[in-house]
Amino acid sequence: MTRPTAGAKLFLLAAAVLLASRSIAASEPAPPFRGVFFNPQTNADPNFPWLLHYGDCREEVRAALRELVDTLQVNLVAVFILIPNTLKDPPHGNESGQALEAWANMAFLDHVAAFVDDCHAAGLSVAFDLADNRWIPHRVDATRHLGQPGNPWWPVADETPWDEAASWYRQIIEYVESHAAHPEAIAFWCMGGNYQWGGAEPVLWDNDSLPEVKAHTERFVKHVWPVFRAAGRRPKAAPYALPIFSNNAYWMAKSPKERLGAFLNLKQWLVDDLALPPDYWPMTTYPFCDPAPDGVHYLREIIAILGEENAGRILSTDLKGPGHAHELRDSILNVGDASGPDMLQWHFDQCMAHGFAGWWVWAYQDAGKEVSGVRARDGAWKQDLVGVIRQSVP
């Protein structure tokens, strides 16, 4: 048998490395994703946030994951990772170039990695929305910025917050992927966060009264996205975008195109300017918006902005069922007497008709005064919602 030459050995080594780098991608669950925002109400004390205290509630959560699959037959859970939970000292964020161990709550990151493996064991994928509140410098909108001097929870954004944020996103992704036994269970990472609300969609639309917000957000996206996209090996989702259906005086004076400013801006920055498209385009979706009462087919318009060829990369998220009346009341949308199952069925039909990559529903469980869960606070399943979700499974 002929021995391989040195050149052949190098070729074989390179091929092995390439195959290894693709091994995770090859095992990815195929869309469509069908899931819920996962917010289990555990008995741990304290029980919020549950991932911060995963050592106290892990068995409860594992059981909830199994019951979720058995009852709803979904294949995805969406989970927020808020920056304060990742910090040793929440009001003091990481610094650019600082070693992970110097600033991170390592126990929390190990909890996240363990949860990834628990999702894998239950037959689920998990989508992580990494939420950093430092999208714009504090001085730009000082009174409304979540991170305030003296705030015991959220870090304050300096003049170049994109430097620290890029390091934070990258280090979190790389640590969790390298410490989970089954990183292939991570469906995707999303570059999230909101400077006013923390775990919410970023402010990607234009603001006539404070144009600096958009200018600094664009700088943030263009600085952070290349680092975020290159981190780890799992798919990357663009920041969550949402159409604005508010019926207040400001937005009623705006055109439908301006209501879709988040999509227009994000596509311009990621695709046209950076030439770095995401693996997925997640969007917060509202019922009966296609067509809306103003005659505009908003989902069709969003697809046109992102490109017809990308419809299969769009994820319809934060789906509204019961418990969302307060979000829809002050909008241009006409929900009428539609029931929770009616609204969810509308969403599922739209995803199927447009060939979207999938969806997730808000939320898994009622929490406090919120009654938007598929499951009640006491654990009882809401059978009308269970039925419509199960019927959506191919």
Both structure tokens of 262: 């988040």
Residue 32 domain-assigned?
A: yes
Residue 255's pLDDT is what?
Answer: 97
CB 250 within 8 A of CB 258: no
Residue 311 domain-assigned?
A: yes
Residue 152 domain-assigned?
A: yes
Residue 10 domain-assigned?
A: no
Residue 20's pLDDT is what?
Answer: 38
pTM summary value: 0.91
CA separation, residue 184 to residues 30, 45, 129, 179, 273 (Å): 12, 31, 16, 12, 30
Q: What CATH number is attached to the domain comprising 140?
A: 3.20.20.80
Residue 211 domain-assigned?
A: yes
Domain extent, residue 142, equals 26-391
Residue 163 domain-assigned?
A: yes
Rounded to whole angstroms, the Cα distance separating 228 from 307 reads 23
Residue 5's pLDDT is what?
Answer: 42
- Sheet with 236-237, side-by-side order of all strands: 236-237, 186-192, 125-131, 76-82, 33-37, 358-361, 314-319, 281-284
Residue 13 domain-assigned?
A: no
Residue 324's pLDDT is what?
Answer: 76
Torsion of CA 109, 110, 111, 112, to 10 degrees: 50
Residue 337's pLDDT is what?
Answer: 87
Residue 161 domain-assigned?
A: yes
10-residue stretch averages of pLDDT, the chain, 394 residues long: 39 36 41 94 76 94 97 97 97 95 98 98 98 97 94 95 98 98 98 95 94 97 98 98 96 97 98 98 96 97 98 94 78 90 96 97 91 94 96 84
What residues contact residue 192 under an 8 Å CB cut-off, 6+ apart? 80, 129, 130, 131, 132, 199, 201, 202, 239, 240
| Number of domains observed in the structure of the chain | 1
Residue 47's pLDDT is what?
Answer: 59
Rounded to whole angstroms, the Cα distance separating 146 from 149 reads 10
CB 167 within 8 A of CB 161: no
What residues contact residue 249 under an 8 Å CB cut-off, 6+ apart? none
Residue 394's pLDDT is what?
Answer: 74
CB atoms within 10 A of CB 18: 10
Both structure tokens of 60: 């409860």
φ, ψ dihedrals at 303, nearest 5°: -60, -40
Both structure tokens of 234: 């799992």
CA separation, residue 26 to residues 1, 46, 235, 280 (Å): 33, 39, 12, 17
